Amino acid sequence: MLDVHRLRLLRELDRLGTLAAVARALSYSPSAVSQQLSQLETETGVTLLESAGRGVRLTAQARILVAHTEAILERLEEAEADLRASLTEVRGTLRVASFQSVLLALVPEVLTTLASRHPGLRVEITHQDAGDAFAGLLARDFDVVLGEEYPGAARPPVPGARTRLLASDELFLVLPARGPYARAESATVPARLPDLAEVPWIFDAADTAPGQWVRDTCRAAGFEPDVRYTGSDLLLQIHLAETGHAAAVIPGLLLAAVPPPAARVRALPGHPRRKLTTGVRSGAAADPAIRAFRAALSEAINATATHPAPAPKEAQVTPIDKIAWIRLEDGKILSTRSRGKDVYYLPGGKREPGETDVQTLVREIREELDVAIAPDSARHAGTFEAQAHGHSEGITVRMTCYTADYQGIPAPSSEIDEVIWLTYADRDRVAPVDQVIFDHLHQSGELT
């Protein structure tokens, strides 16, 4: 029988490249790692490592073993998650890696929610950029990684990890309102980047995703930005704009969480948005602690206006994009209510990166209602748009709806607190976009 611990060491060597790196990641000595891998060779009866300069490299047989190890570790994680899910209380320690804007804007509310609902759950949070954090996720230093992707720079898939889209977050210019670098006086028109060619900037480092994206954006506008200050502290970036020393690009999520800056907040041309994601190890998504954290995080971001106020009236705000399931039986429609909410919604949710509509529908309904959608039966039933419930005026939600057959009995799961069958008489109990759908279905005679 092969030792799982030694298999993991081999997999880490394949991922990190050197015995020294494996030793650092797992708090061993290089000689201890080497000894364990030698014992694994004895167990398998094949050569797993061969010399390569001053280091070692995996043989073809070792890579076969690594491929199986990924599946073994995933199944073990699934087994652990199933065991924890069988318990009546969410307990243990959840280790989270996050970046600054989410820490400031969302994490305090998430911690409050989890402390109230799951007092036996200990949450440990480390401020760390997503790149290094994903390495820590695979090394089991973290259980959840909060990540971000900037326009045109999607993060490549990380083997052994799975990500879920949390939200999209518009990026804004924050400009000096006084002094020689004051620009963009109009609050109703997106700033012209070429007009800012002579303004000093503060950016993240050039080798980071936000730093690279904002430099490329300026270059695409026809100028090389005068980056006089470099730093990832978004509060410092805002402060330099307030004091008239530099311009910055700040996520709307953070601007909504801090007092309005004493500076000019302006929309960027095209209203670019970054994607916020959560990443977990493959096989761990069903862990009760992870599901509780993701649910609390979704609630926090839904309760947070991601557009700074006051928003320019002429500014174009991208609708919140959702997929929903229309299930009608005996003239009634299946609806849900999330924990802490006072209105009902059609079941469904947001896409994860790379998903089709039907893939999103299948995943969301499984997570929310614990039933299995038959993908081949899914039929587009219409797309509807209305004011987003609980958001600032002008922010809308666009609901792409499907009908589909299913197997199982709908029951509340994840962040869902109640499942109910409604009639048209319940129209006032649902969110605005659902009211539009109710009207449509009532006029067609399907909802009584």
Is the pLDDT score of 314 beyond 70?
Answer: no
Please report, for the domain that includes residue 179, its CATH number.
3.40.190.290
Percent above pLDDT 70 for the chain:
92
Clarify whether residues 202 and 180 are in a common domain: yes
pLDDT score at 4 = 76
Q: For residue range 226-244, what is the model confidence (pLDDT) as tens digits? A: 999 999 899 999 999 999 9
Is the pLDDT score of 73 beyond 90?
Answer: no
Q: What is the mean pLDDT of residues 278-287?
A: 85
pLDDT score at 437 = 95
How many domains are there within the chain?
Answer: 3
pLDDT score at 313 = 38
Clarify whether residues 308 and 348 are in a common domain: no
| Both structure tokens of 255 | 């601007």
Clarify whether residues 21 and 123 are in a common domain: no
Q: Which of 97-111, 152-166, 191-205, 418-432 has the lowest mean pLDDT?
A: 152-166
Q: Is the pTM of this model over 0.75?
A: no
Clarify whether residues 116 and 67 are in a common domain: no
Q: How far is CA 134 from the centre of its chain?
A: 13
Clarify whether residues 63 and 158 are in a common domain: no
The answer to the question of residue 156 being in a domain is yes
Is the pLDDT score of 346 beyond 70?
Answer: yes
Most confident range, picked from 60-74, 130-144, 288-302, 334-348: 334-348
Please report, for the domain that includes residue 73, its CATH number.
1.10.10.10
pLDDT score at 187 = 63
CA distance 59 to 75: 25
The answer to the question of residue 81 being in a domain is yes
Which residue blocks in 3-59 are alpha helix, DSSP H? 4-16, 19-26, 30-44
Q: Which among 33, 57, 85 is the end of a domain?
A: 85
Clarify whether residues 168 and 215 are in a common domain: yes
Q: For residue range 160-218, what is the model confidence (pLDDT) as tens digits? A: 888 888 888 899 999 998 888 887 766 656 678 999 999 999 999 998 889 999 999 99
The answer to the question of residue 39 being in a domain is yes
| Both structure tokens of 20 | 């020294």
More confident residue, 306 or 88: 88
Count of CA atoms in the C-beta half-sphere (13 A) of 156: 1
| Both structure tokens of 139 | 């090394």
Clarify whether residues 280 and 155 are in a common domain: yes
Q: What is the mean pLDDT of residues 67-80?
A: 76
User: What residue numbers bound the domain in which 399 lies?
Assistant: 320-443
Is the pLDDT score of 312 beyond 50?
Answer: no
pLDDT score at 265 = 92
Clarify whether residues 138 and 252 are in a common domain: yes
The answer to the question of residue 170 being in a domain is yes
